[in-house]
Amino acid sequence: AQSVTQLGSHVSVSEGALVLLRCNYSSSVPPYLFWYVQYPNQGLQLLLKYTSAATLVKGINGFEAEFKKSETSFHLTKPSAHMSDAAEYFCAVSDPYGNKLVFGAGTILRVKS
């Protein structure tokens, strides 16, 4: 069985500050891990994915995440927040066959000017 825990349902940062969204996973098989972003009234958009290649993964819009097996973590970071980053972010885990994604509860990111 697989599961994801996102720490913090709401995160608030100032524009230009570091963004850190936390994700821990549980998986009985080698996991594939994802971060999705959801803007209001829009579908989920893939930010980045880890599929057992490099442990530091770079995604769109300046985001990156590092897979740490020893900590079962896949935290999402961005060096400098922009107002347009305000959205809800979901971490998800899947098995290597892509049969389904298991999502966390989401973290709403607020960016203050």
Partner 1 sequence: GAGVSQSPRYKVAKRGQDVALRCDPISGHVSLFWYQQALGQGPEFLTYFQNEAQLDKSGLPSDRFFAERPEGSVSTLKIQRTQQEDSAVYLCASSLAEGAGLGIYPEAFFGQGTRLTVV
The residue ranges that bind partner 1 (CB under 8 A) are 4, 32, 36, 41-46, 49, 51-53, 90, 92, 94, 96-106
Whichever of 19 and 90 has its CB closer to partner 1, that residue is: 90
Closest approach, Cβ 43 to partner 1, in A, equals 4
Query: For 69, which DSSP code?
Result: G
Pairing of strands 32-38, 87-94: antiparallel
Measured between alpha carbons, how far is 102 from 86 in angstroms, rounded to an integer? 23
Q: Answer positive or negative: Cα dihedral of 94, 24, 107, 113.
A: negative
Whichever of 62 and 106 has its CB closer to partner 1, that residue is: 106
Whichever of 31 and 111 has its CB closer to partner 1, that residue is: 31
